[in-house]
A and B are shown apart, each in its own frame.
Chain A
Amino acid sequence: DIQMTQSPSSLSASVGDRVTITCQASQDISNYLNWYQQKPGKAPKLLIYDASNLETGVPSRFSGSGSGTDFTFTISSLQPEDIATYYCQQYDNLPPGFTFGPGTKVDIK
């Protein structure tokens, strides 16, 4: 099974700061890596798919990069409404399966 790690597990930043979260897969997953935002009491929301593609309607301050085993998620200028937990998620083909990272909780300093 492919394992996913995320770092940091939590962070606190100021409004306007650049925020970076990393996600690492235990083996090569090509670009099958997605990022979600989850606010308290709400369902996760897709932000980035296939490592770097911005989902329709998602603000451009969100971005993703990487391939293989190492991926990065960036908020270029943190906004108060970005307070949430962010999860990476990978797709495994053999056998078909989906694994989420443990999450990164983002707070405002």
Chain B
Amino acid sequence: QVQLQESGPGLVKPSQTLSLTCTVSGGSISSGSYYWSWIRQPAGKGLEWIGRIYTSGSTNYNPSLKSRVTISVDTSKNQFSLKLSSVTAADTAVYYCARLNSLFGYYFDYWGQGTLVTVSS
């Protein structure tokens, strides 16, 4: 059973860079047909896709965040990471990592439990 776990600081100061890591267990991050994604959800609001990465390092980002987002992968550690620069209070949200299954279509079939990141001085 694949499991994902987010980790990183829960509090980030405005204008700084938010950094999170997702550790994948129960399967190799290098398995074919899977991408690895970050999704966020402000309190009481809907879900926003941030971006995805393939194990080759190929990435796609949400155009609304593209200028501030970097997603990277470390296959040796079975981890992938998110960096979001120049954060503001609007970036306060629960951040989820998820596996994007591309076997038949494109759907998020495994999710981490989520981690709350608050942007505040």
Chain A residues within CB distance 8 Å of chain B: 1, 31-32, 34, 36, 42-46, 49-50, 53, 55, 87, 89, 91, 95-103
Is A100 a contact partner of B60 (Cβ separation < 8 A)? no
Q: What is the predominant secondary structure among interface residues of chain B facing chain A?
A: strand
Chain A proximity of B121: nearest CB distance (Å): 27
Question: Which chain A residues lie closer than 8 Å to B112 at the CB level?
Answer: 43
Given contacts A46-B107, A55-B109, 20 further A-B contacts (CB under 8 A): A34-B107, A43-B96, A43-B98, A45-B111, A46-B109, A49-B101, A49-B104, A49-B107, A50-B107, A53-B104, A95-B63, A96-B52, A96-B60, A98-B37, A98-B49, A98-B52, A98-B100, A98-B108, A100-B46, A100-B47
Question: Which chain A residues lie closer than 8 Å to B37 at the CB level?
Answer: 98
Query: Nearest residue in B to A95 (C-beta to C-beta)?
Result: B60
Question: Which chain B residues lie closer than 8 Å to A31 at the CB level?
Answer: 105
Question: Which chain B residues lie closer than 8 Å to A53 at the CB level?
Answer: 104
In the bound complex, what is the Cα–Cα distance between A45 and B109 (angstroms)?
A: 7
Is A44 a contact partner of B111 (Cβ separation < 8 A)? yes
Query: Would you give 20 A-B contacts (Cβ < 8 Å), ordered by A?
Result: A32-B106, A43-B96, A43-B111, A43-B113, A43-B114, A44-B111, A45-B111, A46-B107, A46-B109, A49-B104, A50-B104, A53-B104, A89-B108, A91-B107, A95-B60, A97-B49, A98-B49, A98-B52, A98-B100, A100-B47
Known A43-B111, A43-B114, A95-B63; judge A87-B105 contact (CB<8 A).
no
Q: Which of B52, B62, B107 contacts A89 (CB 8 A)?
A: B107
